[in-house]
Amino acid sequence: MNPAKLHLSPLARQSLSEDATSRIRRAIISGELAPGSPLPETGLAEQLAVSRVPIREALMEMEQEGLVEFDRRGRSRVRTFSEEDFEELFSMRCTLEVMAARLVAKRITSADVEILETMIEGQQATENLTELSLLDVAFHGHIIQVACHRALAVCWKTIRSQIEFWLARAHRAQAARHLSSVELTVPGHRRLLADLCSGSELKAENAMRLEMATWREWLPA
């Protein structure tokens, strides 16, 4: 007897690559994979129960994101960041997000406000530091989206994963000092959202500068 024909779409190799990228990226951001850790394709493929092809594609994607680096022999490892790397990332983030804040002040809608408020509620509810970091960056990512500036969005995409990495590191450092990342993050985002809704480009810009200055202070030496 022939089996019943199921209406299922074939699995796409790209979806395997995207899933592998997501899972390895999260391990790096959470600190489970520390800077300098080797990323052997065979070992990762075995752990994720896939072939080496999607693993290789995932590692190449994360190299472009700035989280992974390859040596001359093609072996990959988690990127080790220097203080100079962070300073460059910080200055880039300030430039992009302050610009976005000015644009958003003139175009934010009630629907955007609702989305951002929901994101803040999600931050308030989570107890997982990695999840908080991802929600935090998603909040800022939506602000970039609302700005409706394609070149700005492309630049943001190139540094987003690195921001998630640094922010998760900051949240872990806060926890080590018995500080609540949620209590530090949520009120700041609520104030920022209020200023983005003010209609004043200057007020929105200053609020974002304050947000960036606070982010800089959080980061461990």
**Residue 206 binned pLDDT confidence (cut-offs 50, 70, 90):** very high
- Radius of gyration, alpha carbons of the chain: 20
CA atoms within 13 Å, Cβ hemisphere of 2: 3
Average pLDDT, the chain: 91
Strand positions, DSSP E, the chain: 68-70, 76-78
Rounded to whole angstroms, what are the CA distances from 34 to 38, 70, 113, 138, 177? 9, 16, 36, 23, 20
- The per-residue pLDDT for range 57-71, each reduced to its tens digit, is 999 999 999 999 999
Q: For residue 36, count CB atoms less than 10 angstroms from its CB and return exposed for 0-12, middle for 13-18, buried for 19 or more.
A: exposed
- Say whether 83-218 and 13-78 share the same fold: no
Q: What is the residue extent of each domain of the chain?
A: 13-78, 83-218
Tokens in use for 38?
């080797």
Q: Does domain 13-78 have CATH number 3.40.1440.10?
A: no
Handedness of CA 35, 38, 41, 42 (dihedral sign): negative
pTM of the model: 0.89
Q: Does domain 83-218 have CATH number 1.20.120.530?
A: yes
- The per-residue pLDDT for range 177-203, each reduced to its tens digit, is 888 899 989 999 999 999 999 999 999
- The per-residue pLDDT for range 130-164, each reduced to its tens digit, is 999 999 999 999 999 999 999 999 999 999 999 99
Residue 1 is predicted with a pLDDT of 42
Average pLDDT over residues 32-61: 94
How far the first Cα of the chain sits from its last, in Å, is 67
**Residue 169 main-chain phi, psi, to 5 deg:** -65, -40
